[in-house]
Amino acid sequence: MAIRELFDTELKVVNIGLAAFKESLDHCGVQAVQVDWRPPMQVDATVEASASAIDRANQRAVKVILAGKPFLVGMAKALHVVPGMRKNVILHAGPPVTWERMCGPMRGGVIGALLYEGMAKTAREAQALAVSGAIDYSPCHQHAAVGPMAGIVSPSMPVFIVRNEEYGNTAYATMNEGLGKVLRYGAYGPAITQRLKWMEETLYPALQKAIAKLGKVDLKNIIAQALHMGDEVHNRNRAATSLLFRLLAPAIVRTAPDAEQAARVLEFINGNDHFFLNLSMAASKATLDAARDIAPSSVVVAMARNGTDFGIQLAGTGGQWFTGPAPVPDALYFPGFSKKDANPDIGDSAITETNGLGGFAIAASPAIVQFVGGAASDALRYTRRMYEITAAENNVYQIPALNFRGTPTGIDVRKVIAKNILPVIDTGVAHRKPGVGQVGAGILSAPAKPFEEALMGLAKALKKKERS
Amino acid sequence: MVVKGAIKTGVYFDSVTLMIVGRDITAATGVLDAAVVMGTRENQAILKSAGLWLRQFDAAADTDLLLAVKAASAEAAAGALRAAGEQLKAVRDRTDAAEEWRPLSLEGALQILPGANVALISVAGRYAGEQAMQALKAGLNVMLFSDNVPLGREIELKKFARAKGLLLMGPDCGTAIINGVPLAFANAVNRGDIGIVAAAGTGLQEVSSLISDQGAGISQAIGTGGRDVKKEVGGIMFLEGLKALIQDTATSTIVLISKPPHESVLKKIGKALKGVRKPVIAVFLGADEKTVRRYGMAPAATLEEAALVACGARPRPANGQVADLPHLGKYIRGLFSGGTFCTEAQVIFRDLGIRHVYSNVPLPPFVTLRNVWKSRQHTLIDLGEDVFTVGRPHPMIDYSLRNRRILEEAQHPETALILLDVVLGYGANMDPVGELAPVIREARVKRPIVFACSVTGTPRDPQNRTKVVEGLESAGARVFPSNAAASKFAAQVARSLEKS
């Protein structure tokens, strides 16, 4: 480059500071962008010094994330396929948590699961078992699984098997039970057990056969289409569920034992707009897991909440969790409920945001943008802000309203801290008491603490490497 | 406690809008709970369980809007219902405010403006250096308007920019014109084949405007910031800019503007100019002409002269009818918003043999004005110096400080003439006539002293030089084509006052 080359190039100006200068440039018809500048925060010196090594690792990590090819390839009982699953293990959402620190909905979910498994006959018995120490609790994320809200996975539950065909790794998620009094909101009792049993005995075999008939289902393709149809596949899954329904319906009809059973299975899927949510989560999990263990990458590979803590994991720091208290969402509450009814943020569903979907893709979802404050422009602003903290733009997932720009993908924890911009999560809100269900929905900012911790953790890992 | 409600038939709002309205009215004082919902069966059940059901809702259908408020008093409930109605109406009337997205960082800006090639930085000095470095690393040329960037940082940035073949204009660079685009404080001048490198911002504005006035034009005008030509920085960007203009085929004449550069910088310029056939005119205000010539440049004593020589025009003779001046006062008071103009005026006073001049930025042999708020004999003040700008905008933008000083000086029995500069262009005060003319009028009503003004700018500037000149003349000021001309006139007056 030489200075005189500038003389032959059309001027394009980034104005950082006095807005009047940008107005003058506009007046002259010059292409210019005004930066809404704010003083930056200091990033750890060790991380700063390793900037180029981290950049390289991040490039690798996002390459892996963008190349991921998640396919739904089958179903099985959790006990048979989920790594580390045993008869006395219950998986839950978010980072590790003991029974003592578990929130209401999660405890309810555990009780419901023990009843469903037949390990207890009454809620009281289940509770006694839950605290006895005989049950091992473990985060879904440590078993290649993800679960919405309480995220409870017990051994007998059927799970979707989602394989990342590019890298060969697999992720698992249960089937979505629908709205109302459901296990993931901590509901338990005969009605819940009955529904779970029906899902195990009727829904699961029907879906299993249908998937086997289809061979595999391209989830990335469905998600990409759904973003063009008004979903962000976290808080809105109506389009994706419909697309999946269209794919599955003929196969279900062909493989079901009788028409009535086929009809009931199809009705169940049709009656639950969130049926696809668990698949968008598993697709995100399978995509992101492939990017683990790329040192010293500062890209986030998991954001998850257990209703008590909010935890994140980085591509460059192995299985280590960085946590902080989960915030209570400042959401829109259904009539009769308010913030004081709300449980702190819960669920593995923030895996979608981690994968450039959900809140990061909210500009694609005009039907729910009002949760963010009313105007469609707010949703655009949310998504656009996220480009500031991500390492890449998605090659497949696009935002029509942003001229089909790829969604912001691959959260760089350094940018989160340096720019003081936290990820937005588009979430449902659980009642703090088990079993009441959803009480609201909204947009919330991830808390800063886990990201600060993560950056310190990365710095520590870098220092350790220097010494060795 | 009361529960009040209303039904609006045939009105539809989506559930989220209604939740927002419900939330807002619930937050009002005296309101305990509220619901604004469509009358579906599910919603009816919700209202019943929340204790918000009213008899009047019994007949409601799916398509009816139900409003219910539980409040401490009937007034509070009625108020909440009214507020809900207004808010729903506002939702109806809402239009899409298509606003422009502002990214939050340079990185974000580059995502939406790929191929950006200039960063114009005017954030606080302690952050500006880092921003500039980021921009250079991203391959952008930088105009660093900010001041208070440490000298060491400036040197680091300029060395880095030089290695990458990028411009780093500044810090404290107020003006540049690149590819015809005025950056920060600059005038709407013609494009042409005269290139400028300047370590003096107002100097650049004056020269480019005067060139434009002659019908010629500017290829590129590169600012470097005043420190560039000092020993420490060693003229890094002054030289890089000069070299770029030497190589630029669209530039056939080069003008260099600065206070006298350090000897070492002059030497480097001389070296760079070896074998260069383009005419190079240097106005190094106050420098020794012979030295300038020795290093291969054609010296110009004033900004005006440099502009005219660059256009191939003849320098203008000093004019102005000194004879018919009113006999009031003894001294000249120059109140400048442009630092370069204050220096240029001193050069002219010195060269015309005026011996006693006070200034806050004195040029040898003149004397430092200790108390800058009080003039002594002939006084030429740069009002852009830090002491005057603490806590207020630059005097080119904010006239208030100078206007007060004008009235003060005008009343003083010693004052014979007030010398002013008016700088137009992007970034400058948008209504100079409206703000300055009344002050001149008021001053002249009390004491009909002489006002000598220059107006730097072009008819195409947002303020329109032609109109500004008319406005100031009709207020009784004598307007000159340049600061040099105004200063020469003032100096001649000073001389005739000394004689009398």
Give B131's contacts in chain A (Cβ within 8 Å): 16, 37
User: Chain B partners of A16 at a C-beta cutoff of 8 Å?
Assistant: 106, 109, 119-123, 131, 135
B228-243 confidence digits (pLDDT tens): 999 999 999 999 999 9
Residue B128 per-residue DSSP state: H
Question: How many other CB atoms sit within 10 Å of the CB of residue A143?
Answer: 18
The answer to whether residues B35 and B5 touch, using CB atoms and an 8 Å cutoff, is no
Partner-chain residue, chosen from B37, B182, B220, that has the shortest CB–CB distance to A7: B220
Q: Which residues pair with B181 in a beta bridge?
A: B178
Sole residue written with tokens 């293990």: A89
User: What distance in Å separates the CA atoms of residue A81 and residue B437, rounded to the nearest whole number?
Assistant: 86
pLDDT of residue B184 exceeding 60, the answer is yes
pLDDT value for B28: 84
Determine, yes or no, domain membership for B283.
yes
pLDDT of residue A240: 98
B67, B93, B119 — which closes off a domain?
Answer: B93
Whether a cis peptide bond, with omega within 30° of 0, leads into A139 is: no
* Contact between A27 and B26 using a beta-carbon 8 Å cutoff: no
Which residues of chain A make contact with B22, given a CB cutoff of 8 A? Answer: 335
Asked whether residue B164 falls in the same domain as residue B36, the answer is no
Q: In this predicted complex, what is the ipTM?
A: 0.81
What pLDDT, on a 0 to 100 scale, did the predictor assign at position B45? 83
Instruction: Give the mean pLDDT of chain A.
Output: 94
Distance CA B398, CA B392 (A): 8
* pLDDT at position B10: 67
pLDDT in the model for residue B320: 54
Which of B14, B15, B17, B19 best tests the A interface by mutation, with the highest count of A CBs <10 A? B19
Confidence of residue A44 (pLDDT cuts 50, 70, 90): confident
**Does residue B366 carry a pLDDT above 50?**
yes
Q: Is the domain of B133 the same as that of B35? A: no
CB nearest to A385's CB, from B22, B50, B104: B104
Q: In three state form, how does the secondary structure of chain A look?
A: CCHHHHHCCCCEEEEECCHHHHHHHHHCCCEEEEECCCCCCCCCHHHHHCHHHHHHHHHHHHHHHHHCCEEEEEEEEHHHHCCCCCCCEEEECCCCCCHHHCCHHHHHHHHHHHHHCCCCCCHHHHHHHHHHCCCEEEEHHHHCECCCCCCCECCCCEEEEEEECCCCCEEEEECCCCCCCCHHHCCCCHHHHHHHHHHHHHHHHHHHHHHHHHCCEEHHHHHHHHHCCCCCCCCCCHHHHHHHHHHHHHHHHHHCCCHHHHHHHHHHHHCCCCCCHHHHHHHHHHHHHCCCCCCCCCEEEEEEEECCEEEEEECCCCCCCEEEECCCCCCEECCCCCHHHECCCEECCCHHHHCCCHHHHHHHCCCCHHHHCCCHHHHHHHHHHHHCCEEEEEEEEEEHHHCCEEEEEEEEHHHHHHHCCCCEEEEEEEECCCCCCEEEEEEEECCCHHHHHHHHHHHHHHHHHHHC
| Pairwise CB contact (< 8 Å): A370 & B120 | no
Q: How far apart are CA B259 and CA B146, in angstroms?
A: 20
Selecting from B23, B121, B250 the residue whose C-beta is nearest the C-beta of A16 gives B121
What does the block give as tokens for B304? 């005006």
Is A277 within 8 Å of A178 (Cβ atoms)?
Answer: no
Instruction: Find the closest chain B residue to A30 by CA distance.
Output: B181
Contact A16 B123 (CB under 8 A): yes
Residue in A161, A455, A99, A458 with CA at minimum distance from that of residue A308? A99
Burial of A1 (0-12, 13-18, 19+ CB in 10 A): exposed
Distance CA B200, CA B172 (A): 10
Chain B residue closest in CA terms to A403:
B112
Of A3, A16, A380, the CB nearest to B165: A3
Distance from CA of B164 to the nearest CA of A (A): 7
Please state the rounded mean pLDDT for residues B398-424.
95
Distance of CA B226 to the CA centre of its chain: 17
Interface of B with A in 51-80 (CB under 8 A): 52
Angstroms from B460 CA to nearest CA on chain A? 11
Highest mean pLDDT among B41-55, B249-263, B375-389: B249-263
Q: Measured between alpha carbons, how far is residue A18 from residues A184, A307, B10, B122, B426 in Å?
A: 51, 44, 50, 6, 12
pLDDT surpassing 60 at residue B473: yes
The pLDDT of residue A47 is above 50:
yes
Best of A37, A337, A414, A415 to substitute, by most chain B Cβ atoms within 10 angstroms, is: A37
Show which of residues 245-264 on chain B sit within 8 Å of chain A, judged by CB atoms.
Answer: 247-248, 250
Task: Report residue A2's pLDDT band, with 50, 70 and 90 as the boundaries.
Answer: confident
Residues B137 and B234 grouped into a single domain = no
| Whether residue B63 is found in the same domain as residue B212 | no
| Least-confidence region, from A43-52, A229-238, A444-453, B253-262 | A43-52
- Residue B212: closest CA among B282, B280, B313, B319: B313
- Evaluate if residue B75 carries a pLDDT over 50: yes
**Alpha carbons A445 and A324: distance in angstroms, whole number:** 13
Count of domains forming chain B: 4
Same domain, B157 and B188: no
- Give alpha helix (H) positions in B50-186: 74-93, 106-112, 125-137, 151-164
In the predicted model, what is the mean pLDDT of residues A180-207?
94
Considering the domain architecture, whether residues B381 and B475 belong to the same structural domain is answered as yes
Q: Residue B326 pLDDT > 90, yes or no?
A: no
φ, ψ for residue B79 (rounded to 5)? -60, -40
Nearest-CB residue to B46 (from A28, A335, A421): A335
Cα of A428 to nearest chain B Cα, Å: 13
What is the rounded CA–CA span in Å between residue A188 and residue A395?
A: 42
Residues B485 and B354 reside in one and the same domain:
yes
Determine, for residues A13 and B98 on separate chains, whether the beta-carbon distance falls below 8 Å.
no
Cα B500 to Cα B497: distance, rounded to the nearest angstrom:
5
Instruction: Please indicate whether, in this complex, the C-beta atoms of B140 and A6 are within 8 angstroms of each other.
Output: no
CA angle B385, B390, B261 (to 5 degrees): 25
Are residues B23 and B54 both part of a single domain? yes
How many Å apart are CA B288 and CA B273, to the nearest integer?
A: 18
Q: Has residue B187 been placed in a domain?
A: yes
- Are the C-beta atoms of residues A279 and A71 closer than 8 Å to each other? no
Q: How far apart are CA B368 and CA B382, in angstroms?
A: 12
Give the pLDDT score at B387: 84
CB contact under 8 A, B122 and A21: yes
Q: What is the pTM of this model?
A: 0.76
Residues of B in contact with A30 (CB under 8 A): 181
- Residues in chain A, overall count: 468
Residue of chain A whose alpha carbon sits nearest to that of B189:
A28
Most confident listed range (A80-84, B33-37, B372-376): A80-84
The domain boundary, picked from B253, B284, B315, lies at: B315
Q: Is B240 on the interface with A (CB under 8 A)?
A: yes
Q: How close A7 comes to chain B (CA, Å)? A: 6
- Per DSSP bridges, beta strands B280-284 and B253-258 are parallel
pLDDT at position B96 over 60: no
CB distance B281 to B254 below 8 Å: yes
Note the pLDDT tens digit of each residue in B135-153: 999 999 999 998 889 999 9
Residues 91-120 of B with CB under 8 A from A: 91, 94, 96-113, 115-120
**Nearest-CB residue to B22 (from A34, A335, A370):** A335
Residues from chain A that touch B166, judged by Cβ atoms under 8 A, are 1, 3
CATH of the domain at B59: 3.30.1360
For position B126, which CATH number holds?
Answer: 3.40.50.720
CA distance B402 to B372: 13
Burial of A354 (0-12, 13-18, 19+ CB in 10 A): buried
Check A14 against B99: CB less than 8 A apart: no
Question: What's the whole-number mean pLDDT along residues B387-416?
Answer: 89
CB within 8 Å: B145 and A21? yes
State pLDDT tens for residues B490-500: 999 999 888 76
CATH no., domain A51-65+292-467: 3.90.1700.10
Separation CA A359–CA A312 (nearest Å): 16
A397 min Cα distance to partner chain B (Å): 17
Q: CA of A462, closest CA in chain B: separation in Å?
A: 23
Q: Are strands B141-144 and B168-169 parallel, antiparallel or unpaired?
A: parallel
Which residues does chain B have within 8 Å of residue A14's beta carbon, measured at their own beta carbons?
A: 106, 109-110, 113, 116, 118-120, 135, 140
Task: Count CB-CB contacts under 10 A for residue A366.
Answer: 15
Q: With beta carbons less than 8 A apart as the criterion, state whether A312 and A300 touch.
A: yes
CATH 3.90.1700.10 positions along chain A are 51-65+292-467
* Percent of chain B that is helix, strand, coil (3-state, to 5): 40, 20, 40
- CA distances, A93 to each of A17, A105, A272, B118, B397 (Å): 44, 11, 21, 48, 59
B63 and B191 fall within a common domain: no
Put simply, whether B22 touches A (Cβ < 8 Å) is yes
* Alpha-carbon distances, residue A328 vs A204, A323, A331, A359, A432 (angstroms): 35, 15, 9, 17, 10
Tokens of A164: 């990342």
Residue tagged 């709407």 (tokens): B188
- Residue in A with minimal Cα distance to B16: A370
Q: Where in the sequence of chain A do the CATH 3.90.1710.10 domains occur?
A: 74-281
Q: What domain range includes position B238? A: 174-315
C-beta atoms surrounding A188 within 10 Å: 25
Cβ–Cβ under 8 Å, residues A108 and A119: no
> Any idea which of A440-449, A450-459, B237-246 has the lowest mean pLDDT?
A440-449
Q: What does the pLDDT average to over B217-221?
A: 97
Cβ burial A428-443 (10 Å sphere, 16+ → b, else e): bbbbbbbbbbbbbbbb
| pLDDT greater at residue A333 or residue B392 | A333
The answer, yes or no, to whether residue A284 has pLDDT greater than 60, is yes
CA dist A291 and A65 (Å) reads 6
Range in A122-126, B5-9, B413-417 with the lowest mean pLDDT: B5-9
Higher pLDDT, B224 or B61: B224
Of B94, B99, B140, the CB nearest to A14: B140
**B101 domain-assigned:** no
Q: CA of A387 to nearest chain B CA: how many angstroms apart?
A: 7
Return the exposure string of B295-313: e unless at least 16 CB atoms fall within 10 Å of the residue's CB, then b.
bbbbbbbbbbbbbbbbbee
Residue A372 has pLDDT above 70, yes or no: no
> Rounded to a whole number, what is the distance in Å from the CA of A322 to chain B's nearest CA?
26
Could A16 and B131 be called an inter-chain contact, meaning their C-beta atoms sit closer than 8 Å? yes
Residues B114 and B235 in one domain: no
B353 touches chain A (CB under 8 A): no
- pLDDT at position A445 over 50: yes
Distance CA(B12)–CA(A278), nearest Å, equals 32
Greatest mean pLDDT among A277-281, A381-385, B371-375 lies in A277-281
The answer to whether B113 contacts A2, with C-beta atoms less than 8 Å apart, is no
Phi, psi angles (nearest 5°) of residue B485: -65, -45
Q: How far apart are CA B179 and CA A6, in angstroms?
A: 8
Instruction: Say which CATH architecture domain A74-281 belongs to.
Output: Alpha-Beta Complex (3.90)
Q: Is residue B325 a part of any domain in this protein?
A: no
Report the CATH number at residue B338.
3.40.50.261
- A-proximal residues of B, 364-423, CB under 8 Å: none
A371: confidence class by pLDDT, cuts 50, 70, 90? low
Euclidean distance between CA atoms B494 and B408, whole angstroms:
20
| pLDDT tier at B475, thresholds 50, 70, 90 | very high
Q: Among residues B33, B65, B93, which one ends one of the domains? A: B93
Q: Confirm whether B203 is domain-assigned.
A: yes
Closest partner residue to B46 (CB to CB) among A14, A24, A336 is A336
**C-beta atoms of B119 and A336 within 8 A:** no
Instruction: Mark yes or no for CB contact A33/B91 under 8 Å.
Output: no
Within this chain, do residues B140 and B181 fall inside the same structural domain, yes or no? no
Mean pLDDT over residues A204-223, rounded? 97
CB contact under 8 A, B119 and A368: no
Question: What span, in angstroms and rounded, lies between the C-alpha atoms of B161 and B224?
Answer: 12
The pLDDT tens digits of the residues spanning A10-21 come to 999 999 988 889
Write out the two tokens for A433.
Answer: 């008491």
B66/B38 Cα distance (integer angstroms): 6
Whether residues B156 and B187 fall in one domain: no
B457 by Cβ neighbours in 10 Å (0-12 / 13-18 / 19+) ranks as buried
Confidence of residue B97 (pLDDT cuts 50, 70, 90): very low
Of A243 and B322, more confident: A243
Q: How far apart are CA A396 and CA A224, in angstroms?
A: 6
- Neighbouring CB atoms inside 10 A of B398's CB total 15
pLDDT at residue B93 is higher than 70: no
